[in-house]
Structure 1
Amino acid sequence: MIREVKAEVKKNDQMSSSTLEDETPMPPLNRSVYKKLPVWDFEDVYTQDAPPKHMTCARSLRNNKDDWFKEAFLPNIRLFMHKDNINMSEWNRLSHFTSPFGFMGLQYNDVMEAVKLIPIPKEPLIVPKPGSDGCVSCAVVGLGGILNGSKMGKEIDAHDYVFRMNGALIKGHEEDVGTRTSVYVHTAHSITSSRGSLKKYGYTSIPDDKGIKHVMFAEGIRDYQWMTGLLKKERVAAGQYRNSRPWTYYNDHFDERRFYVLHPDFLRYIRNRFLRSQHLNGRFWAIVRPTNGAFTIFTALHVCDIVSAYGFMTEDYRNYNNYYYDTDKTHVIFFINHDYNLERDTWKKLHNTKVMKLYQKTGTGEQKKP
C-alpha cells in the first residue's frame, strides 16, 4: 500500500550555484538489498508544473466525474525531463527509485552526460488543430492481434493525433491500423530490436511522417548511453549499443526540437496510482513495470482531451493472435516484467468510467459499444 503523501508543486527547479557546489551525489543504492519494492516517505510525491491553462473542451477527460479517476489523476504532473530540471537535489531524490522510475544504482556522471543534452521542449507535445472547438482527439495504437481484420484504419486516422510505440508496423496493415503517426514512443531496446524481430513481416523502420515527434524513456543506463550518442550525433561510446549510430534509426526525421524524454516522476506516478502490481512485492520487483503501451496511453491521457485506444488487451484476448501482423496462429505471451492482467483490467475500468474509449470485440467479432 502506498503511503499517501500530498503531492507538492516544486516552485523552483534552479538551485543557487553555492548550494550546488555544497551538494554531492548520494552513493548509489544497491537494489539487490531490497527483497521487494522499497517504499519511501516521499514515494507518492511528484514534481508538478504550473497549473494547466484554462481548458475550453467541455468533453475533456479532465472533466470526468469518476471518484477513482479524480483522486488519482494529476493534470499538471511533470511529463518531461530535460537539461534544466534535474539538479543535484533532484538527482538524490530520484536515486531512491529504480529505472525507469529514477536513478537507483546508476552513476551520476554516466546519466548526467545524457540528461544535460536533453533539449527543453520548444512546444507542447500536442496543440489544438486550427479551427477546432478546442478539443484534441488522440488515438493510441497498440500491436494487439485484436486489430487484425478490424478495419479500424480510417477511424484511427480521423483523430487529430495518432500515438504509436515499439514496432508500429503499418505497411500492409493500413486498413486495420491506419497510416498516420504523430507521436512515436520508444526505448533504445524497442527501436533497435524491431528491425530484426519484425524484418520477416516487411518492417524496415519506425514511422517517418513529416513533423513526427519522438518520445523516449529510459529503462536503464543503455538508454542514457543511446541518448548521448543520439543528441551528440556520435557513435555510442559504451555499453550494449557501443558503436551504434542512433540517429540512423529515425529515418533522417530526427529533430531535437521534437524530441521528448518522459520524466521518471511521471512514470512512477503511473505505476503507483494506476498500475501498481502485486508483483512488486516479490523478488523480481526491480524489473516489474508497465508496458511501453501503457506509458503511451497515459501520456495521451495527460495531453489530449479525448482518447481512444486500439490494439490493447481486452477480456477476450485469447481469441486473437499476439500481434496484428502475425501470419501464423499465436498466443499472447506474458513476460515476467509486466502485469498484463492488471493492465487489461485497467483499460476496461478507464473505458467503463468513460475516461477513454477502448476498442473491443465480442466473441462474434462485433465491436462493443462504449
Structure 2
Amino acid sequence: MSYEVDNKKTIHITEDIFRMLPESQPLDYPFKNCAVVGNGGILKNSSCGAEIDKSDFVFRCNLPPTMGSISQDVGNKTNLVTVNPSIIAQKYNKLNEKKLTFLENIASYGEAFLLLPAFSFRSNTAASFKVHQTLKEFSAKQEAIFFYPRYLRNLAQFWRTKGVKAYRLSSGFMITSAAVELCENVKLYGFWPFSKSTEGTPISHHYYDNQLPKPGFHAMPKEYSQILQLHGRGILKLQFGKCLTD
C-alpha cells in the first residue's frame, strides 16, 4: 500500500498489520447531530460544554484536555479523537515508557476511537502501531483506527481544486470534511484562527496553551475561508462566540 504523502514509498501489509485493521466499518453512521471540537482559544469561557455533550457524535483533535473546570466550555463527551504521532513521540517517549501515563491521560475519552495517520508518512507508522499495541496490551476501552491513505489523498486533491494548496491538510480540516460525509448536521466549535475574539478581546491560540503551529505546513487561512463558505451555504454551522445556556 502506498503512503498518503510519501506516495512513492510503500508498506507491505503483513498478517500482523492486517489484524490491526477493523474487520468491518467501525462507525455506525450516518449520525444525526455531530460536534467537531477544535482547540481554539475562543472556546475558553464559551459555556459550550453542555451543548457539545448533547451531540450524537463528538470529534476532537490531537488529544486535548477535557477534564476539570474546562469541561464546562469544551464538554466531556468524545467519540473520536485524532492523535498526532508527534505527541506520542514528544510527550510519551514513543510509548517505550510512560505507557501508564498515556493510558491515564486518555481515560477521559471513554470508549472513543483514537484516529491515527499511520500511513501518511513512513515516520508515523511505528508510533501509530505502538498506540494500537498498547491499547490491546492493557485491554483499554479505546480503540485505535487508521486513516486510509487513498481517502486522504483524494480529500487533499478535492480541496486543492478549491484553492487549499498546502503541504498537508490540518487534522481539524480533515475531521470537518469527514464529519460532513458522516453526519446529517455538523456544528463546529473552537475553530477560530485569530488572536482576538469577535468582541476584540485577546485570546490564546489553543484553549489550553498558546503554542503556535509550524509556519508553512498547513494552509490555515485558505482552510478557514472554505469553512466560512460551508457555513454560509448551510452545509455546517460554525459557533463563533459563547453558547446560550439554559
State the distance in 1 between where 2:138 and 2:153 align.
27
Cross-structure match for 2:97: none
Cross-structure match for 2:168: 289
Q: CA-to-partner distance for each residue in 1:277-298, whole Å, 9 max, x for gaps?
A: 9795xxxx7xx10111111112
Greater share of helix: 2
Q: Pick from 154, 160, 163: which aligns with 1:269?
A: 154
| More deviation, 218-227/155-164 | 218-227
| TM-fit CA distance, 1:322 | 0.6
Cross-structure match for 1:125: 27
| TM-fit CA distance, 1:190 | 3.3
Cross-structure match for 2:199: none
- 1:114/1:337 Cα in 2 relative to 1: closer, same or farther (>3 Å)? farther
Name the aligned partner's letter for residue 224 of structure 1: T
Q: Pick from 197, 208, 213: which aligns with 1:325?
A: 208
State the distance in 2 between where 1:304 and 1:192 align.
32
State the distance in 1 between where 2:162 and 2:212 align.
19
Equivalences for 1:143-222 in 2 at 5 Å? 143-172=39-68, 173-194=70-91, 205-206=105-106, 208-218=108-118, 219-222=120-123
State the distance in 1 between where 2:81 and 2:211 align.
26
RMSD: 3.3
Cross-structure match for 1:298: 177
Cross-structure match for 2:227: 347
Q: Pick from 124, 129, 140: which aligns with 2:36?
A: 140
State the distance in 2 between where 1:115 and 1:209 align.
25
Q: Pick from 244, 253, 262: which aligns with 2:141?
A: 253
State the distance in 1 between where 2:142 and 2:230 align.
33
- The runs of 5 or more residues in structure 1 that have no matched partner are 1-90, 129-134, 197-202, 234-245
- 1:113/1:123 Cα in 2 relative to 1: closer, same or farther (>3 Å)? closer
| TM-fit CA distance, 1:215 | 1.9
- The runs of 5 or more residues in structure 2 that have no matched partner are 94-101, 197-201
Equivalences for 1:220-239 in 2 at 5 Å? 220-231=121-132, 233=133
Contact 1:166–1:191 (CA under 8 A) maintained in structure 2? no
State the distance in 2 between where 1:336 and 1:195 align.
26
Q: CA-to-partner distance for each residue in 1:163-208, whole Å, 9 max, x for gaps?
A: 1121311123101100111112223223444559xxxxxx962354
State the distance in 2 between where 1:357 and 1:250 align.
39
Q: Number of matched residues? A: 228
Name the aligned partner's letter for residue 189 of structure 2: Y
- 1:254/1:211 Cα in 2 relative to 1: closer, same or farther (>3 Å)? closer
Contact 1:165–1:292 (CA under 8 A) maintained in structure 2? yes
- Per the normalisation by structure 1, the TM-score is 0.53
- 1:267/1:107 Cα in 2 relative to 1: closer, same or farther (>3 Å)? closer
Cross-structure match for 1:338: 218
| TM-fit CA distance, 1:309 | 0.9
Name the aligned partner's letter for residue 320 of structure 1: I
Name the aligned partner's letter for residue 118 of structure 1: M
Contact 1:275–1:290 (CA under 8 A) maintained in structure 2? no
Q: CA-to-partner distance for each residue in 1:70-122, whole Å, 9 max, x for gaps?
A: xxxxxxxxxxxxxxxxxxxxx3xx4xxxx534632x3544x657643332343
- 1:216/1:121 Cα in 2 relative to 1: closer, same or farther (>3 Å)? farther
Greater share of strand: 2
Contact 1:143–1:324 (CA under 8 A) maintained in structure 2? yes
